[in-house]
Every structure is written in structure tokens, then in C-alpha cells.
A and B are shown apart, each in its own frame.
Chain A
């Protein structure tokens, strides 16, 4: 099936620093999604992107849908301790409704 390559695998940063992570795919997606998973819980949707080139913000988070439709990035500005968790990208296509492909996740650690 389709695969998403997410990088970096993990990040250790100081509180207040900005963070950037990205996802790439060998095939096109029509929708890109970014989720966050807190320890011991299920993922929660952060941002959904629907058009190539789209740039969307949610508070300190900003995500972009790549022009080629094969990539997406997520930025977190001025990180805080509660940003700790695993961030997943996910992609969906219009031709295969129902299927979701997830990246392997980026584990973020924020040092106070």
C-alpha cells in the first residue's frame, strides 16, 4: 500500500524553540491531516488540508499541503511543555474512500 515517510523520528528541543516536521509520499494524496497523540491516549486531529498549496494555522501550529500533493509540513512556534507527544501525518485519496495512511510519527520532547 501507500507509504508516508515522516521526519524527523524524534526531536528534543528547549521550551520556546520553533519546531518543523514533514511528511513525504511517493504518491499523491487529496487530503493531508496532522494528528497529535498524548501519552496513553488516542490521536487527536490538529489540522486538515484539502488543496495543494493550502496553508492553515491552528494557534501556534501551521501546516501546509505541498504543491506536488506528495508532501506536507507542520510547524510549531514557541513550543511549550504541553506540546510533548507524538505527531502523525496522514493522507487520504478520493479514489479509495475509507482508507487512511499514517506516517510513522515524530516524537517531540520539550525541555522546560
Chain B
């Protein structure tokens, strides 16, 4: 089944403890992206990747890192999580980096992170 998977789906952690949220897609998509969703603020883009080894900042990159060593994986790393990073995180991918299929983003199921 074609899908975007995220792990873990739920995570409670403490301030300062490094964590990684994994994202994997099995559709051979070029483009991948991370968003956070907070009540009343919609989805805000954290980082995106146009292809392997190509990453760029979105609107809210502070406190996050990403890497794209393989086409299928795009992990989100929080080196020193803080309570203001408590949020619902979504990974997404799309087939191309240009043209109309570029806009067909497929979203993962989300990861709910709580930082105490």
C-alpha cells in the first residue's frame, strides 16, 4: 500500500532530551516536507527537501534539524526539545518538485509530541 509512515505516533518527553521522529514513504517521491499543527495556527512548514541531500528551511525551522540521505526517509530531529515544541507533526511527500503532481502532497498520520 502506498503510504507515508511516521514513528512514533505519540511521544511524551522531557525538556532537553534529544529525539528523532522518523518519516518514510514507499512511493519513490522526490519531495518531502515536515509541518507542525497547532490550534488556531493551521499547518506551518518546518523544513522541506526537493531531493536527496537537498533540504531547505520552511517558515518555522528554529529548534529542528532534518536530513535526507535516502530518497524514502526524511527524519525530523529535535536536538534539545522545549515545551513550545509540543505540537502535532506531519510529514508529507509528493511525486515531483515541479509541475502539477508537485502539488499532490500525501500526508502521514501525524505524530503527537508533548515536551514536559
Give chain A's interface residues, CB within 8 Å of chain B. 1, 4, 6, 9, 31, 33, 40-45, 48, 50, 88, 90, 92, 97-105
A-B contact count (CB 8 A): 64
Q: Can you name 13 A-B residue pairings with CB atoms under 8 Å?
A: A9-B40, A31-B103, A44-B107, A48-B104, A50-B100, A98-B33, A98-B56, A99-B45, A102-B35, A102-B44, A103-B42, A104-B40, A104-B42
Most buried by B among A97, A100, A104: A100
Q: How far is the CA of A101 from the CA of B59 in the complex (A)?
A: 9
Residue of B nearest to A98 (CB): B48
Give chain B's interface residues, CB within 8 Å of chain A. 4, 31, 33, 35, 40-45, 48, 50, 56, 58-59, 90, 92, 97-98, 100, 102-105, 107-110
Q: How far is the CA of A4 from the CA of B44 in the complex (A)?
A: 11
A43 touches B90 (CB 8 A): yes
